[in-house]
Amino acid sequence: MKSFPLYRPSVDAGELVAISGQIGIIDGRLVDGGAAGQTEQALINLQEVLQAAGLATSDVVKVNIYLTTMADYDAFNERYNAVFGTEPPARTCVAVHELPFGALVELEAWARR
């Protein structure tokens, strides 16, 4: 895995915290399980960054989602809804050509303090 010394998992912006893009990576490798497995790990990674900032998923107000193919939308959505429940944050989901490390899914978020 390449080293990115300037990568910041989150940035405090006063009443808001910006969470950098999270992919389904652990120990420098993408997890198995395709988009579903990568979504689960990306959400775990997001929750860990939130926790380090003293926040929880209930504090998230906006999520931007990037998929390399919209064919993975249902697999992503199922795992996403399991984490965010019946009152999820606002979100945007777009298809992109490519993601870092060959990931299939990436998500970034804004949370309130």
- The tens digit of pLDDT for each residue in 79-101 reads 999 999 889 999 999 999 999 99
Phi-psi region of 78 (alpha: psi -120 to 50; beta: other; left: phi over 0): alpha
Which residue in the block uniquely carries the two structure tokens 């939130």? Answer: 50
Could you tell me if residue 95 is inside a domain?
yes
Active site (annotated) includes residue 93:
yes
Total number of domains in the chain:
1
Supply the CATH number for residue 105's domain.
3.30.1330.40
- Is 41's pLDDT higher than 60? yes
Note down the domain range covering 73: 10-112
Mean pLDDT on 8-27: 94
Mean pLDDT on 43-68: 97
Catalytic residue among 73, 93, 108, 112: 93
Share of residues in the chain with pLDDT > 90 (%): 88
Q: What share of the chain is helix, strand, coil (3-state, %, to 5)?
A: 35, 35, 30
